[in-house]
Chains A and B, each alone.
Chain A
Amino acid sequence: MIAANSIQLTVVTPETTLLDEQAAVLQFPLEDGQIGILPGHAPMVGRLGIGELTVTTSKGTTRLFVDGGFVQVKGQSVTLLTNQAHQLEDFSAAEVEKSFNEAIEREAKTPFEQSTKQHDIDRNRKLLSLLNKS
């Protein structure tokens, strides 16, 4: 078999198909750590974590922020299913910091509230570190 030299990447959210293009390299967070995908990756299904998705195409790199979901690698096509995906430039550091502080101070009594609180804290912390880095 001839090795493929590009990946057909699709990023879908419940509302729309965000990206559908040829990519050379992908980097995104899985639940337990960062993963990189090159063409010809073995078939895989994985859980996404919170963090940055970097897509390198022939035209340049695109950076998206993904928040949980799944990834499916099958042959040359890679599909990312995520509840939320936004351009990293869409966030402003001040706003993220505000919601981060709000999440930290929020009262959480039930286990359900605690888990959403933890998720909000994680999400905003990750987002902040990404924004400060760039």
Chain B
Amino acid sequence: MANARVIIKRLKAVKNIRKITRTMELIATARFKKAMDRASEAKAYTQKIAEIVGDLSAADLSFSHPLLQKRDNEERVLVLVLTSNRGLCGGYNSGVLRQAANCLRRLEKSRKNLVLEVSGKRGISFFKFDGKATDKQYTHFEEKPSFEEVDELATRFIDLYTSGAVDRIEVAYTEFHSVARQSAKLETLLPIQDLSTDDNQDQEQAHAVDYEFLPDAEAILKEIVPAAFKAKLFKCFLDAAVSEQVARMIAMKGATENADEMIGDLSTKYNRARQSQITSELSEIIGGALALE
């Protein structure tokens, strides 16, 4: 029979863990709200970029830019993996890493040269364990990636791509659709496949306006393509940050609920153990009293 004292100890431990997971859930919720606000504020910029791109395409321009051209033989491929610095966030990291590992396997099969860049401690330790060398590691992107930091990274990517050091850039991250749905995804960043977003409505309206381009449409195109790329990369980072908080929130909610269930179970067990202990003590006393007579 389980000793009542042992059960009490365990019960206390579970209660403590519940307190911790509950607090983590609350923290993740607060951080999620902040990250969400940032992401929605950033949306205005991407939308406007898409609008101007739409305006440009309405102006009958042939889109040609080094960042848009697909190269015939892709020799070197850069893969950027966005994971979190901290764990305890459910399947968030494993989802991204599964995508990344699949991609790496494919690339290895086709004997491509690989440049691997990882953001987040979780991803770094995963690749270390896997025995894969990472070329660059970042741990400074927390739940609030700033545009300045991403800009630095993006400028380096553009430089690498235009100089021909890499022929394709892929990113593995978690895309945020809604609070209930996020999905790990592998996306090609460069060459840019599709500049205009699926907002056809904006483009329809743009057709109606006859713009004057200063200094000329070519020059604007030259500048807007890198800007669109930067905005896209920034969106990846923001999405990843929001998804991480959501994943942690849900994981911690599950943990708290499980702890609650366990507390219930353990209290029932404890009460039973206590009662049977009292019963046996009573019967011992009665037995002793009977023996004295």
Contacts and interface: CB of A to CB of B under 8 A. Distances in A.
Interface of A: 10, 12-17, 30-32, 35, 42-47, 68-70, 72, 74-75, 79, 81, 83, 110, 112, 116
Q: Chain B contact residues: over half helix, strand or loop, or mixed?
A: helix
B209 A43 contact: yes
Q: Give the interface residue-count category, chain B.
A: 20 to 34
A45 B210 contact: no
Contacts of B215: 30-32, 46-47
Contacts of A30: 214-215
B194 interface: no
Going nearest first, the 5 A-B pairs with the smallest beta carbon separation are: A46-B214, A14-B147, A112-B159, A44-B212, A16-B41
Q: Chain A contact residues: over half helix, strand or loop, or mixed?
A: strand
23 contacts: A12-B45, A14-B45, A14-B231, A15-B147, A16-B41, A17-B44, A30-B214, A31-B219, A32-B215, A43-B212, A44-B212, A44-B213, A45-B52, A45-B213, A45-B220, A46-B220, A72-B48, A72-B51, A72-B52, A81-B45, A81-B48, A83-B151, A112-B163
A126 B52 CA distance: 27
A47 B220 contact: yes
Contact of A70 (B44, B210, B220, B230): B220
Contact of A45 (B42, B151, B214): B214
Interface of B: 38, 41-42, 44-45, 48-49, 51-52, 55-56, 146-147, 151, 155, 159, 163, 209-215, 219-220, 223-224, 227, 230-231, 234
